[in-house]
Amino acid sequence: MTGRLVCLHGLGQGPESWEAVLTHIEKGALCPSLPELAGEARFTDLYQAFEGLCGTLPGSLRLCGLSLGGVLALEYAKGHPERVESLVLIGTPLEIPRGLLGLQSLVFRLMPAKAFRGTGFSKQAMISLTASMADLDLRAGLERVRCPVLSLCGERDRTNWKAARILGRSLPQAVLRQVPKAGHEVNRDAPEALAALLRDFYEQQG
């Protein structure tokens, strides 16, 4: 286990959401701020910025992402399998229902701008980012992921449990685990339990 650990937060979180987890497993992990990377706040811009960031890091990478962060990590592992030593996907969706995106966009438009301050994104940036994910096909290219994978989901995150199981079955070196008593934000809901699962996973990689 030599690769640099990169932890990617979910939408509405920030790098600090990993602090309680990393205290138990590893210092020096890189936790970039996705709003700062996003640029124009379209998914393609965000992914290209993340890809560029990874390009500046030497050696192999251990990517660990929750939700939107998991989507970025998975896309990078598909595009750069030679760089990714291991992959942890937490509450990571494989499809973004258009109906749900439409409803979410409507809700965002009705919300006051101040409601988005804690997310790191402006109201318009959040609307732009979620709308730009409508055409993502996250199942395409899964066969290109060659590294060991830990597919995780919170016990109460019923929305993403199906996707976690599909990832656990579809990726050749994948292990599926559920985190008891946790919802979607596993890194905040159960940081010690998540840290224990990560520690065991990384130790098994040597």
Task: Tell how strand 4-8 and strand 149-154 pair up.
Answer: unpaired
pLDDT of residue 132: 78
In a domain, 30, yes or no: yes
Whose structure tokens read 């990571």? 92
The distance from CA 188 to its chain's CA centroid, rounded to whole angstroms, is: 14
In a domain, 163, yes or no: yes
In a domain, 79, yes or no: yes
Q: Which amino acid is at 205?
A: Q
In a domain, 110, yes or no: no
Q: What are the structure tokens assigned to 11, written together?
A: 């939408």
Question: Could you give the number of structural domains in the chain?
Answer: 1
pLDDT of residue 12: 80
Tens of pLDDT, residues 15-72? 999 999 999 988 889 999 988 887 667 888 899 999 999 999 999 999 999 999 999 9
Helices and strands counted in the chain (H then E): 9, 5
In a domain, 126, yes or no: no
pLDDT of residue 104: 65
Tens of pLDDT, residues 80-132? 999 999 999 999 988 775 655 666 677 777 778 777 676 667 777 777 777 77
Q: Hey, is 90 helix, strand or coil?
A: strand
In a domain, 108, yes or no: no
In a domain, 123, yes or no: no
Determine the straight-line distance between the first and last CA of the chain, rounded to whole angstroms: 5
Long-range contacts from 101-108, C-beta under 8 angstroms, 24+ separation:
101/130, 101/131, 101/133, 101/134, 104/130, 105/130, 105/131
Specify the CATH number for the domain of residue 19.
Answer: 3.40.50.1820
- Report the 10 Å Cβ neighbour count for 32: 18
Could you tell me which of 72, 90, 82 has the C-alpha nearest to residue 136? 72
How far apart (Å, rounded) are the C-alpha atoms in residues 171 and 126?
Answer: 31
In a domain, 178, yes or no: yes
Domain that holds residue 47: 4-95+138-204
Angle ∠(180,185,27) on CA atoms, nearest 5: 95
